[in-house]
């Protein structure tokens, strides 16, 4: 850059060079003013829309929250599952008069075809029971009643058919579907327990945030259990005929 300077001896021309730092500062000011960098050759970089970024970040936060939920609640669900299995076994081993056992078996056999007609029917029946178990305070009592009645049916079948009750108890767990469904009940009962305790601690709103995660886990487990149970029922029916 040339600059003319006037003085007593006349005018003279001086050459003034801009430092690199000055050029960088001017370039930064042009960027902040909205000029944007110039792309020398090649296509400009792709533009990522803000809504898309927000959706990706939100999905990432949801997955992280789901993982944290599983780590925190899995142990509680296992404890609840163990308690429910113990109650199931106690109900199955409880003595029952033969007349009552026969009446209970007949009643259950009338309901069984409708309840196990499709995997959807099995799933909906178990899902309704699980949702009831999540109700604060009342849900734990309902869980005990549902599981106890199931154990009583197993005991009734043992009394009528002379099949050892231990074998009838083991069949659902050996074939896996029984454990899957009981684990779903364990998640549901533990959720009901935590909702109850958080209500007493006046932290119910905080605990309600974990409810969608519990429902998601229960739904996935019950779907897998329902499909497996339906397949086993159909295989058993085919072998018997």
Q: What is the pLDDT along the chain (241 residues), one digit of tens a residue?
A: 544 444 444 444 444 455 444 554 555 455 444 444 454 555 555 555 566 676 666 666 666 666 666 777 889 999 999 999 999 999 999 999 999 999 999 999 898 888 888 999 999 999 999 999 999 989 999 999 999 999 999 999 999 999 999 999 999 999 999 999 999 999 999 999 999 999 888 888 888 888 998 999 999 999 999 999 999 988 877 776 6
Distance of alpha carbon 108 from alpha carbon 115, whole angstroms = 10
Query: Cα dist. 119→133, 185, 231 in Å?
Result: 21, 18, 9
Of the candidates 127, 122, 131, 123, the one whose C-alpha atom is nearest the C-alpha of residue 211 is 131
Instruction: Give me the pLDDT at residue 50, please.
Output: 64
**DSSP character string of 142-211:** HHHHHHHHHHHHHHHHHHHH---HHHHHHHHHHTSHHHHHHHHHHHHHHHHHHHHHHHHTT-HHHHHTTH
H or E element, residue 76: helix 50-93
Provide the pLDDT for residue 61. 66
Can you read off the two tokens belonging to residue 203?
């932290």
What pLDDT is attached to residue 196? Answer: 92
pLDDT of the residue at 5: 45
| pTM confidence score | 0.72
CA distance 190 to 82: 12
How crowded is the C-beta side of 78, counted as CA atoms within 13 Å? 6
**Would you report the helix, strand and coil content of the chain in percent, each value rounded to 5?**
75, 5, 20
Residue 213, class by beta-carbon neighbours within 10 Å (0-12 exposed, 13-18 middle, 19+ buried)? buried
CA dist list (Å): 162 to 11, 56, 154, 241: 124, 59, 12, 21
Contacts of 150 by beta carbon, 8 Å cutoff, 6+ apart:
88, 91
- Residue 149 Cα distances to 90, 145, 177, 190, angstroms: 11, 6, 18, 20
Q: What is the pLDDT of residue 190?
A: 94
Q: Cβ atoms within 10 A of the Cβ of 74, count?
A: 15
What is d(CA 65, CA 58) in angstroms, rounded to the nearest whole number? 11
Cα three-residue angle 128-129-131, rounded to 5 degrees: 65
Instruction: Identify the pLDDT of residue 202.
Output: 84
């Amino acid at each position: 850059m040339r600059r003319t300077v006037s003085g007593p001896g006349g005018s003279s021309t001086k050459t003034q060079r801009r430092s690199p730092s000055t050029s960088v500062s001017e370039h930064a000011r042009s960027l902040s003013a909205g000029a944007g960098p110039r792309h020398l050759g090649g296509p400009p970089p792709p533009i990522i829309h803000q809504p898309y970024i927000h959706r990706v970040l939100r999905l990432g936060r949801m997955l992280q929250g789901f993982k944290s939920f599983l780590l925190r609640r899995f142990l509680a669900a296992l404890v609840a599952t163990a308690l429910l299995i113990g109650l199931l076994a106690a109900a199955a081993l409880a003595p029952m008069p033969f007349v009552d056992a026969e009446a209970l078996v007949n009643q259950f056999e009338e309901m069984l075809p409708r309840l196990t007609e499709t995997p959807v029917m099995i799933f909906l029946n178990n899902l309704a029971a699980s949702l009831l178990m999540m109700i604060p305070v009342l849900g734990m009592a309902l869980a005990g009643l549902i599981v106890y009645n199931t154990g009583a049916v197993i005991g009734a079948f043992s009394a009528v058919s002379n099949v050892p009750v231990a074998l009838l108890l083991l069949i659902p767990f050996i074939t896996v579907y029984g454990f899957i469904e009981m684990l779903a009940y364990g998640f549901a009962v533990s959720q009901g327990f935590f909702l109850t305790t958080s209500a007493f601690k006046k932290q119910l709103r905080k605990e309600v945030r974990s409810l969608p995660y519990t429902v998601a886990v229960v739904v996935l487990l019950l779907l897998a259990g329902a499909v497996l149970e339906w397949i086993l029922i159909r295989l058993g029916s085919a072998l018997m005929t």
